Homo-oligomer: A and B are copies of this chain.
Amino acid sequence: MKKAVVLLSGGLDSTTCAAIAKSEGYEIYALTFDYGQRHSKETEYARKVGEMLGVKEHHILRMNFSDIAASALTRNTEIPEDRDMDSDEIPVTYVPARNTIFLSLALAYAETIGTGDIFIGVSQIDYSGYPDCRGEYIEAYEKMANLATKAAVTGECKVTIHTPLINLTKADTIRKGLALGVDYDKTWSCYAGGETPCGHCDSCRLRAAAFKEVLGD
């Protein structure tokens, strides 16, 4: 069976991405990060999602980089509520080099298990303007990765960064996931991490709007 490393945060996008990888016949090696986020909801949900999808292996990697990476998600900065999402500004929830760090650890893991296939649930359509969610960035990453590892340079395992959601709207992502039987109640998107989703952060609002589009009021 072919193997893939899937970056799994326990949110809507990464869960759908993992379900797609599974539907394409990959055995899933999930990788989740506990990186000093303000709350531990994400890793709890990631674990549930991993079980739901029957992953082969699941590593939850602890790595406190809040000291070196300033962000509202890792430090005590307020998370913006009801922000103007049409603005061009990259919000304070941006985490420096996050996907670059995550993909780099996925790359090490992939080489270790003997695969070059890595899945990440980024989209350049409905997103918060983070630069490391764009196709142009992913292409440059893949090019670099193919010069970085022993498996890639010896031709043993060429690296492919799969981004099945890259051109999907959030609503299309949900449609895709529902068709694959994803139970979105097992996912978590809110940045705030209270008992229930706050409903006012970018992540809650993008999710709610998308579900409204898919399911109606």
Contacts and interface: CB of A to CB of B under 8 A. Distances in A.
B70 A112 contact: yes
Contact of A68 (B108, B152, B153): B108
B101 A108 contact: yes
Interface size class of A (residues with CB under 8 A): 35 or more
B132 A140 contact: no
Interface string A74-97: 000000000000000010001111
Nearest to A141: B144
Given A131-B148, A154-B90, A96 B68 contact: no
A166 B64 CA distance: 31
Contact of A147 (B61, B104, B140, B147): B140
A91 to B, nearest CB: 10
B134 A100 contact: no
**Is the contact region of chain A dominated by helix, strand, or loop, or is it mixed?**
helix
Q: What number of copies of this chain does the assembly contain?
A: 2
A215 interface: no
A99 B148 contact: yes
Contact of A65 (B61, B132, B134, B145): B61
Interface string A57-73: 00101111101111000
27 contacts: A31-B68, A61-B64, A61-B67, A62-B63, A68-B105, A68-B108, A69-B108, A69-B109, A69-B111, A97-B107, A97-B148, A98-B108, A100-B145, A101-B105, A103-B104, A104-B104, A130-B150, A131-B147, A131-B148, A131-B153, A132-B147, A137-B147, A140-B140, A140-B144, A140-B147, A141-B148, A143-B143
Interface of A: 31, 59, 61-65, 67-70, 90, 94-101, 103-105, 107-109, 111-112, 130-132, 134, 136-137, 140-141, 143-145, 147-154
